[in-house]
Amino acid sequence: MKRRDFLTALRHGPTAGGRAARVDAWTWVGGGGDRDADEWRRSFARVRGAGISGVLVGGGDTTVLGDAAHAEGLSFHRWTWMCNRNGDARVQAEHPEWFAVSREGKSSLTHPPYVGYYKWVCPTRPAVRAYLRDLVDRTAADPRVDGVHLDYIRYPDVILPRGLWGKYGLVQDRELPQFDFCYCDVCRETFRAQSGVDPLDLPDPPSNEAWRRFRWDSVTALVKECREAVHARGKAITAAVFPTPRLARRLVRQAWDEWHLDAVFPMLYSAFYLEDLPWIGTSVTEGLKALTAAGGGTSLRAGLYLPSLDPDSLIEAVEIARNAGARGISLFDMGALDDVHLAAVQEALRA
Ligand SMILES: [Zn+2]
């Protein structure tokens, strides 16, 4: 497929010879490990055979992976961690001041919330934006890359999905200070210059509308810089996002309906939210409504979490997403696609 065709397919979805459009299917892929080029081709051929048309690949070698994906007719997008810089030793060593600071005054570099790998840079800082924009620009410059897929493009979870509260022994019915970011010098000074008040001096920071909006806009401004860089390369830009614009704003400060990406992949992992399968449909509907209100132009693919879906549930989830108007689905992840799930995907896509 030519690049232009890949982009058209991403924005408008698959067509079936004039019949009603079907959903397309993608999968997230961990590209590390010791597989060689032939093994990657076999892995990609296997999912392509079931009807999957694109891969979102993190890690590994772009040349090997991109060539293998294209040889099997798959669209190849680079899955890229953004604000979470756990794997970025250079930034951690050279720019500790870039890391987000909690309302308790602790840096996520030295005091990562929840888990050791939660080391997040602050999206308000111009140097951070320039660094991440350059990262996606260099990724998009590779001729093998059809698109850049942003992940962790947000603040750390100020509130975890409800289904995870027990795991961490938390009741997050409000924003707790140790999970509330970012109160670094740059955020405090920038907000003070705009509003006249230091966010740490607000009587109740979580309830302040302007302070909430400031942080949504901070992520959105970072996305805009990345979008412009990737589009200047003639490539697509997409993102893995939280389930709905409303939940995403509240839990991780993502106003993703305002991002104007080519596609969003909301992670509709119902079990994380103690929800049932129909929730996938209502979430798709809510997301599409918000995207339309923001001017349209962004397609939506429903992210599905394989470990909590048996094959029958997977078929039902695809059907629900399709009926709600999703342009496609995306499966987390290729490593969890055993033969029975793969057969279910194939059956669901044929419907
Ligand atoms: Zn900050």
Rounded to the nearest whole angstrom, what is the distance from the C-alpha of residue 185 to the centroid of ligand 1? 7
CA of 294 to the centre of ligand 1 (A): 27
Please tell me the predicted confidence (pLDDT) of residue 255.
98
Q: What is the pLDDT of residue 6?
A: 67
Quickly name the fold that domain 3-85+124-158+215-350 has. Answer: TIM Barrel (3.20.20)
For every residue of 267-317, DSSP letters joined together read B--GGGGT--THHHHHHHHHHHHHHHHTT---EEEEEEEGGG--HHHHHHH
User: What is the Å distance from ligand 1's center to 105 Cα?
Assistant: 11
Ion ligand 1 residue ranges (Cβ < 5 Å): 122, 124, 182, 184, 187
CB 7 within 8 A of CB 57: no
| Mean pLDDT value across residues 316-329 | 97
- How does pLDDT run across 308-321, given as a tens digit for each residue? 999 999 999 999 99
65: pLDDT strictly greater than 70:
yes
Instruction: Read off the pLDDT of residues 114-132 as tens digits, 9 standing for 90 and up.
Output: 999 999 999 999 999 999 9
Of the pLDDT bands very low, low, confident and very high (cuts 50, 70, 90), residue 18 is very low
**Tokens of residue 343, six digits:** 């057969």
Reported confidence tier of residue 25, pLDDT bands at 50, 70, 90: very high
User: How far, in Å, is the centroid of ligand 1 from the Cα of 101?
Assistant: 6
Residue 7 has pLDDT above 90, yes or no: no
Q: Is the pLDDT of residue 4 over 90?
A: no
Distance of CA 180 to the CA centre of its chain: 20
Contact 12, 299 (CB under 8 A): yes
Whether the Cβ atoms of residue 323 and residue 348 lie closer than 8 Å to each other:
no
CA of 99 to the centre of ligand 1 (A): 7
**Residue 194 alpha carbon to ligand 1 centre in Å:** 15
What's the chain's average pLDDT?
95
CA of 100 to the centre of ligand 1 (A): 5
How far away, in angstroms, is 242 Cα from ligand 1 center?
A: 21
Q: What is the mean pLDDT of residues 169-179?
A: 96
CA 78 to chain centre: 12
pTM of the model: 0.96
180 alpha carbon – ligand 1 mean position (Å): 11
Provide the residue ranges of all domains of the chain, joining segments of one domain with +.
Answer: 3-85+124-158+215-350
The per-residue pLDDT for range 281-294, each reduced to its tens digit, is 999 999 999 999 99
Centre of ligand 1 from the C-alpha of residue 155, in Å: 10
Q: What is the pLDDT of residue 2?
A: 63
Distance 181 CA to ligand 1 centre (A): 7
Residue 1 pLDDT grade (very low, low, confident, very high; cuts 50, 70, 90): low
Task: Report CA(228)–ligand 1 centroid distance (Å).
Answer: 23
CA of 122 to the centre of ligand 1 (A): 4
Cα of 214 vs centre of ligand 1, distance in Å, is 11
CA of 227 to the centre of ligand 1 (A): 21
Residue 255 and residue 216 in contact, taking contact as beta carbons nearer than 8 Å: yes
Strands 75-81 and 54-58: what pairing? parallel
CA-closest candidate to residue 8, choices 65, 41, 54: 54
Distance between Cα 134 and ligand 1 center (Å): 20
